[in-house]
Amino acid sequence: MRIKNRIVSRYYTTPSTYNALVYQKDGRYYAKDEEENIICTDSPTACIQEAVDHVSSKGGGIVFLKGGTYKLSRGIILRDKVSLIGSGIHSTRLVPLPNFSNSYMISLEGNKEYLACWRRISDIYIYNNYNVNYGIYADNKVGASCMVIERVLIRDAVVAGIYQGQGNAVWTVRDCGIFGGTKGYGMYMHYTGDSHYENNEIFGYSKGVFAIALGNSVFIDNRIYMAKRYDDVQDSGLGMHLHSSSGVRIIGDRYDQNDIKGLYIRDSHDISVVGVLTWKNGVYCTRNPCYGVGIQIYGGSNITVKDCVSLNDYGHGVETIGGYGIVVEGCVVRDPCYSTDLQSECRAFDFYRSNRIVVRNNHAVDTRSPPVMKYGFKFDGNTDLLFDGITAYGYISSEINIINNNKLRRNYGTATISANTTSTTVTHNLICTPSKVYVTPLGQLPGPIWVSNVNNTSFTINISQAPTSDLQIAWYAEC
């Protein structure tokens, strides 16, 4: 079951324990405390805020919003140690009035005691109506930590559905839907961390997720799709943009039909991406140019991409540009370069000027007839490169294209000892002086064969007696 169906199918009756209840009756709005004392008979805005303030004054607790549409004239400030719980997103709705006076629907007050409590917002539909900047907002450095947001639907925020500002750490966001058609972000995390994002569905913003300087956090089973490219929004059209972050794990996410890139990791460190699916990124983009990469790594260090699948992305499936200490292992790219316009340069995997990179047990497949994929793998100017167990099927030109002096940890090829000569020198393109060199003649030997003059750029293959015709020699070298 998709996330949207899962969150809308939940419905909650009034909980047995609450500290304040907000409800409407006969067209009027009320708030009462746990002892049934009426604490507000006013507008929905006033009753929600007075209920929150009342519970806060008693040391914290739960404010429950019964089913209904609450038309707000200003945003709600959620106090320290107060949770705001609705009856379900089909039942409890927060909607801004035309004269709405704040930039947020719900703003989080900072904790008075660091990491001393948990707050929760759940089972509410927040409709920003294209004229409120934020659905849920925690300003920079307010100390709004230890937050749970679950089963919340946020629509049409101008800047961000959820904004997790600087220093507001230890959040859990799960089972939420964040949908919109604006130039903003589904979720924006800024200089924060130690958070958990799971089973969320984010649709239709210029970036689904923008995380800058996010640390020690995990994304699990989120779907991020249909991020749109806008000419006047920098780096728009990205499913997730992870920038200058560290210690982040991405497990089982799905990125599909985003205009430019599914998952974009830039200048980040100690990142793990496992079991991610990308599909048709760039295919439906209407603003040229559309790049359409499934996963792109730009700079950074110690990044692992493992057991991921790219299907029908407009451009490459997996691409690295720069970066150090990158491992790409066990991934499959099927039918890259969705458009035949890209046939001349189409490759499933593209590695460009990266350093200390391992490419192991990956597979590139083109099932189309005729095929579009020119190369399965392209290695261009990389340093300290090791590849092993990689295969490609259905390519036009070659399985592997190696250009511009890549420096490898292991390499192999064929060399020729010309007729009437007794040696040939091989440039091995390794990052080191090889510790192992093996040679195998591919024809009849006229005498013993051996290797000499092994150094950091080349080695020499020798034969005791010159052949009468050219002799092909297969060679293998590794650090």
- Among 44-53, 126-135, 284-293, 430-439, the range scoring the smallest mean pLDDT is 284-293
Q: Which has more confidence, 231 or 158?
A: 158
If pLDDT is split at 50, 70 and 90, which confidence band does 14 have?
Answer: low
Q: How many whole angstroms separate alpha carbon 121 and alpha carbon 104? A: 15
Residue 215 has pLDDT above 50, yes or no: yes
pLDDT digits (tens, 9 = 90+) for 279-309: 999 888 776 666 789 999 999 999 999 999 9
Q: Give the model's pLDDT for residue 2.
A: 44
> How many angstroms separate the first and last alpha carbons of the chain?
50
Tell me, letter by letter, the H, E, C secondary structure of the chain: CCHHHHHHCCCCCCCCCCCEEEEEECCEEEEEECCCCEEEEECHHHHHHHHHHHHHHCCCEEEEECCEEEEECCCEEECCCEEEECCCCCCEEEEECCCCCCCEEEEECCCCCCCCCCEEEEEEEEECCCCCCEEEEECCCCCCCCEEEEEEEEECCCCEEEEECCCCCCEEEECCEEECCCCCEEEEEECCECCEEECCEEECCCEEEEEECCEEEEEECCEEECCCCCCCCCCCCEEEEEECCEEEEEECCEEECCCCEEEEEECCEEEEEECCEEECCCCCCCCCCCCCEEEEEECCEEEEEECCEEECCCCCCEEEECCEEEEEECCEEECCCCCHHHHHHCEEEEEECCEEEEEECCEEECCCCCCCCCEEEEEECCEEEEEECCEEECCCCEEEEEECCCCECEEEEEEEECCCCCEEEEECCECCCCCEEEEEECCCCCCCEEEECCCCCEEEEEECCCCCCCEEEEEEEEC
Q: Give the model's pLDDT for residue 433.
A: 94
Q: Give the model's pLDDT for residue 341.
A: 65
Q: What is the mean pLDDT of residues 155-174?
A: 93
Residue 163 has pLDDT above 80, yes or no: yes
Q: What is the mean pLDDT of residues 243-260?
A: 96
Q: What is the mean pLDDT of residues 191-217?
A: 95
If pLDDT is split at 50, 70 and 90, which confidence band does 58 have?
Answer: very high
Q: Which has more confidence, 399 or 378?
A: 378
Q: Which has more confidence, 26 or 460?
A: 460
If pLDDT is split at 50, 70 and 90, which confidence band does 8 have?
Answer: very low
Q: In this prediction, what percent of the chain has a pLDDT beyond 90?
A: 72
Residue 101 has pLDDT above 60, yes or no: yes
Residue 112 has pLDDT above 80, yes or no: no
Residue 115 has pLDDT above 60, yes or no: no
Q: Give the model's pLDDT for residue 109.
A: 86
Neighbours of 5 (CB within 10 A): 10
If pLDDT is split at 50, 70 and 90, which confidence band does 3 have?
Answer: very low
Residue 268 has pLDDT above 60, yes or no: yes
If pLDDT is split at 50, 70 and 90, which confidence band does 64 have?
Answer: very high
Residue 5 has pLDDT above 90, yes or no: no
Q: Give the model's pLDDT for residue 356.
A: 92
Q: Token pair of 20, please?
A: 């304040």
Residues found in the chain: 479
Q: Give the model's pLDDT for residue 15.
A: 58
- Among 3-17, 91-105, 201-215, 443-457, the range scoring the smallest mean pLDDT is 3-17
Q: Give the model's pLDDT for residue 292.
A: 84
Q: For residues 88-101, b (16+ Cβ closer than 10 Å) or e, as one string?
A: bbbbbbbbbeeebe
Residue 37 has pLDDT above 80, yes or no: yes
Q: Token pair of 359, please?
A: 């490419």
Cβ(329)–Cβ(358) below 8 Å:
yes
Burial class (CB in 10 A: 0-12, 13-18, 19+), 325: middle
Phi/psi of residue 109, nearest 5 degrees: -75, 150
Cβ(248)–Cβ(271) below 8 Å:
yes
Q: Give the model's pLDDT for residue 12.
A: 46
pLDDT digits (tens, 9 = 90+) for 382-414: 988 888 899 999 988 888 888 777 788 888 889
Residue 157 has pLDDT above 70, yes or no: yes
Q: Give the model's pLDDT for residue 141.
A: 77
Q: Give the model's pLDDT for residue 95.
A: 97
Q: Give the model's pLDDT for residue 411.
A: 86
Residue 114 has pLDDT above 70, yes or no: no
Residue 214 has pLDDT above 50, yes or no: yes
Q: In this prediction, what percent of the chain has a pLDDT beyond 70?
A: 93
